[in-house]
């Protein structure tokens, strides 16, 4: 693969799967319509024709079969990539994901491993309503035994997925559907990986630290451009994975700025930002000159009306306002 021009987030995911299936015959793909249809969002196009029905397996719309089957295959020595069409429905595979996938390596004394990836499209996009628009990463952050990837751009989408596929532990890979068409330059190197537990400074700054992931990173970058014109310098930290979480990079940023805003699309109450805010208050208290603030999705079911969707998660003007208020401290 020699393509070096910008590609979409969606196509970066396709490239990652293709490269890992070519590299390792133990890797296979399973999910709803992932075969000839190429997945409900078209991300797996071409893989069925290249690898055939044995390694690109269409299965019924039964989430506990998708995840549970992947657990069994992983314990049997394969490396499944299981696609659940919408992350919301991972909860239908509650026993298989919360228990079997997350706990069985531990419960069997490490005598087996569960090297599998669950691709979980998430986020608010397209008027698909309350049951198809959520960001449930917080549910699984509260589940010891799984790793969580939350890529925000095409390069990380590819590199994190490749790392996830090669990991001997189960990984839930939350891919935000609002990012699928975003483009970026992605390395064609089939061995270039993005390591878990190592965040990145998406934009350097000196006045306020914003921790954001997934689709909130582009929104934060847009807000930072607006704030720069007001001479407010925003540093944006993208953790890239929530488990493991890179608190060291957050601490290094807060050491410079003394102010922290945690930004995410999931609902505010008991959301994943609460964990980061609590850790910051506990571990970084002496560095802070202002209270840790959170900006997140509304505590409501997501409406199906597309005109109402933008009111359900942080918009650029809201991020600008939140950072502006913090900068006044």
Q: Which residues are catalytic?
A: 63, 132
The residues, any chain, with a CB within 8 Å of residue 21's CB and separated by 6 or more, are: 27, 28, 29, 47, 51, 55
Residue among 326, 324, 329 nearest 228 (CA): 324
Q: How far apart are the C-alpha atoms of 67 and 84, rounded to whole Å?
A: 8
Q: How far apart are the C-alpha atoms of 261 and 240, rounded to whole Å?
A: 17
H or E, element range at 260: strand 260-267
Q: How far apart are the C-alpha atoms of 12 and 200, rounded to whole Å?
A: 19
Tokens representing residue 123 in the block: 């986020």
Q: How far apart are the C-alpha atoms of 66 and 31, rounded to whole Å?
A: 6
Tokens representing residue 263 in the block: 């930004």
**Three-state secondary structure along 20-88?**
HHHHCCCEEEEECCCCCCCCCCCCCCCHHHHHCCCCEEECCCCHHHHHHHHHHHHHCCCEEEEECCCHH
Quick one: CA dihedral 197, 17, 84, 183, positive or negative? positive
> For 244, which DSSP code?
S
Q: Are 160 and 15 in contact (CB under 8 A)?
A: no
Provide the Cα torsion 38, 140, 71, 173; round to 10°: 30
Q: Are 216 and 267 in contact (CB under 8 A)?
A: no
């Amino acid at each position: 693969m020699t393509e070096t021009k910008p590609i979409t987030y969606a196509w970066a995911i396709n490239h990652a799967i293709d490269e890992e299936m070519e590299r390792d015959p133990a890797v296979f793909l399973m999910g709803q319509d992932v075969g000839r249809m190429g997945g409900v969002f078209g991300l797996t196009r071409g893989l069925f024709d290249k690898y055939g029905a044995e390694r690109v397996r269409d299965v019924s719309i039964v989430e506990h079969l998708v995840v549970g089957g992947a657990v069994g295959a992983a314990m049997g020595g394969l490396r499944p990539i299981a696609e659940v069409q919408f992350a919301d429905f991972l909860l239908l595979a509650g026993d298989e994901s919360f228990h079997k996938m997350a706990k069985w390596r531990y419960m069997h004394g490490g005598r087996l491993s569960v090297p599998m990836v669950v691709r979980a499209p998430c986020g608010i996009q397209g008027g698909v309503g309350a049951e198809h628009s959520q960001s449930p990463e917080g549910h699984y952050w509260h589940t010891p035994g799984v790793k969580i990837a939350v890529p925000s751009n095409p390069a990380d989408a590819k590199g994190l997925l490749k790392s996830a596929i090669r990991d001997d532990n189960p990984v839930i890979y939350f891919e935000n559907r609002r990012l699928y068409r975003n483009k970026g330059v992605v390395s064609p190197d089939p061995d270039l990986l993005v390591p878990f537990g190592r965040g990145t400074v998406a934009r350097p700054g000196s006045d306020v630290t914003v921790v954001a992931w997934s689709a909130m990173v582009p929104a934060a970058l847009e807000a930072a451009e607006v704030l720069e014109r007001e001479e407010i310098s925003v540093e944006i930290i993208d953790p890239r994975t929530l488990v493991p979480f890179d608190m060291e990079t957050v601490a290094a940023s807060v050491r410079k700025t003394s102010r922290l805003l945690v930004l995410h699309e999931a609902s505010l109450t008991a959301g994943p930002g609460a964990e980061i805010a609590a850790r910051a208050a506990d571990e970084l208290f002496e560095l802070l000159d202002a209270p840790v603030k959170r900006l997140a999705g509304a505590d409501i079911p997501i409406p199906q009306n597309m005109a109402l969707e933008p009111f359900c998660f942080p918009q650029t003007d809201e991020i600008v306002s939140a950072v502006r208020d913090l900068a006044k401290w």
